[in-house]
Amino acid sequence: MRYTCSVAFLLSYLTCMIVAAEKTPKYEYHGMRKFLTRPDIEVPTWKVSVYDEAKVAPGHWFVAPYEVNGNKKPGGSWIGPHIFDSTGELVWSGSHMFKRINVMDFGVMDVGGEDLLSLSYAVEGRGYILDKQYKVKQTVVEGMTGKTYNMHDFHTVENGSHFLYLQRNITHASAQLAKQDLGYDGECSVTFPGFEERDVKTGEVLFKWDATGKIPLSDSTLTHGPVENRCTGGAWDYLHSNAIDKLPDGHYLLSTRHSDTIYKISADDGSILWRLHGLGGDRSDFAMGDLKFSRQHDVRFREHNVTHLIISFLDNATGADPQPATHEWSRGLLIAVSERDMTAAVIASYDHPQHGKSYRRGSYQPLPNGNVFMGWSEQALHSEHTPDGKIVMEAVLTEHKLGTYRSFKFPFTADPQYPPDIYANASTFASITQTSVYASWNGATEVASWRLSKTDKKGEKSLPLTIMPRSGFETLITYDGYAKYVVVEALDINGRSLHTSDVAKTVASKNLDPDAVAEEQQWLHPESSSASAGSSLRGFGVFTGGLFCGVALLWGALFWKRRRERRRPRYERVAGEEEDETKMDELSHR
């Protein structure tokens, strides 16, 4: 009987292994890291090739990795908003909050006077604001992705009191418009960009704009192939807007990638006040000198004086189409635009660290100390430059298949209200008994060290064992001895307690020294340590053990019988999987 069961279990185990192997995706991701305290989190690691600690600005990295292929369906747990410290160590994974689907434009912004987390979530057609406890505070804009919602830009203006974001309208340009702009006979299927400004508190739409009839179809530089193909191909993305900002005079700055143009749009009547044209073509209203750019991203107004507007952006310098390149590699540009003299000139330029292109878009962010933080998108490459262009930080994700839309750096302090996570195990090796305790706290920014204490099942007794400085997302604390129940307490830089974990039961290895176990039992239950109590306890243990064994064998036999009846075994569930899922559900709020 016993052998039959063992064989049955062995067979089912092997079958499970085969089924699991078949389900493994073909591509293997490299440089991913997992944690004992958070089995639901897997995070891509960074290769940091330049890091000058004295020169970089303080702050964390805000990156939202996604895979090359597809972002509509849930992917790996590394997809979504992530915060890393300035050396690339994980601080927060928000993957679970967004169904492991790509988010864009993740960073910190002023919302109603508070610096909060923000991101654009395309699958829901919404912008999200998260508070310092990583709870959703507000969602803004409900639109259909690809139809009315444009995920590229979502931010606040007017000192955090207004949201400004892009929209789009897939429609038909009238035959009259198509004839007039393109000389094309018939309606033309086009995506018209638009944008909206909304009050943060009331949600009221304060301004709404649509390019229809405002920006001619002939402004597009995405024009390869015959015009019929463009107009009948379904929603010709003739402008592809990717950034919107507001100028101090109340008018708007719109960037459209497929016309290589930055437009100033009137807040009075929606008309085009000027064009700053990347290719320096006939339509530029400015004398451009030697300034040329194309397929630009993240266009932002930065500052102004009486004569000039200062604008920053990432110049991709070419597109995927056959249009000639305007520069050999992508770069960050800071330009001065004079509306009086109608001139535009480069003030500063920051080169792609490898003189490459930023295939998956990118970003330009001035930092408070004068440095510039550039996101180059592909493999999430990002770099920090001093004002004179010297690279003081350069980092890239180890995994080639991952990228990010934009990358930012912000000082950020969080205040999570859920408890830290803990995992503990113990074993005896060469007659030395050790307990390893692992502690992490997803999203916490203020932990300086961890206090480990042993306790009882209910957490009523407590004996502090040691204090260990935090050493990354997950800190290992070792204790020379066996502790059956443990808790960790997060301490800040002043030793003040921030939060305590739940009680964890230590996973004991089979070889654990019985004396250490007895000693711990003595600490836990000093009153019930008499021999009789011990023997009755042992008696009870033998009884339960026997009962358990019997039930297990019975169950095994029934299991085997059922499988045989069904003839074709279908083993889909690996033992323990259910437990893992429950654990993940439990963790999903953190």
Ligand X SMILES: *[C@@H]1O[C@H](CO)[C@@H](O)[C@H](O)[C@H]1NC(C)=O
Q: Which residue has the tokens 């100028």?
A: 247
| Closest-CA residue to 211 (of 174, 249, 169) | 169
Binding site for ligand X (CB under 6 A): 148, 158-159, 169, 171, 210, 212, 295, 305-308, 316, 318-320, 336, 347, 357, 359, 361, 425-427, 434, 436, 509
Q: Is the four-CA dihedral 275, 276, 279, 284 of positive or negative sign?
A: positive
Distance CA 425, CA 122 (A): 42
CB-based contact 66:102 (threshold 8 Å): yes
CB-based contact 307:325 (threshold 8 Å): no
Report the nearest approach of ligand X to the CB of residue 365 (Å). Answer: 18
Q: Which is nearer to ligand X, 171 or 189 (CB)?
A: 171
Q: Which is nearer to ligand X, 171 or 266 (CB)?
A: 171
Report the nearest approach of ligand X to the CB of residue 158 (Å). Answer: 4
Name the token pair of 497.
């307690």
Distance CA 382, CA 545 (A): 58
Report the nearest approach of ligand X to the CB of residue 456 (Å). Answer: 20
Q: Which is nearer to ligand X, 15 or 171 (CB)?
A: 171
Name the token pair of 345.
């000139």
Three-class secondary structure of residue 14 per DSSP:
helix
Give the DSSP letter string of 139-153: EE----BTTTEEEEE
Report the nearest approach of ligand X to the CB of residue 242 (Å). Answer: 8
Q: Which is nearer to ligand X, 398 or 434 (CB)?
A: 434
Report the nearest approach of ligand X to the CB of residue 198 (Å). Answer: 15
Q: Which is nearer to ligand X, 485 or 560 (CB)?
A: 485
Report the nearest approach of ligand X to the CB of residue 525 (Å). Answer: 23
CB-based contact 163:140 (threshold 8 Å): yes
Report the nearest approach of ligand X to the CB of residue 336 (Å). Answer: 4
Q: Which is nearer to ligand X, 360 or 385 (CB)?
A: 360
Report the nearest approach of ligand X to the CB of residue 407 (Å). Answer: 15
Distance CA 429, CA 231 (A): 74
Beta strands in 404-493 (DSSP E): 407-410, 421-429, 432-440, 449-455, 462-469, 474-479, 485-491
Q: Which is nearer to ligand X, 131 or 158 (CB)?
A: 158
Residue type, 466: T
Q: Which is nearer to ligand X, 320 or 547 (CB)?
A: 320
Distances (CA, A) of 308 to 9, 248, 334, 574: 77, 12, 12, 66
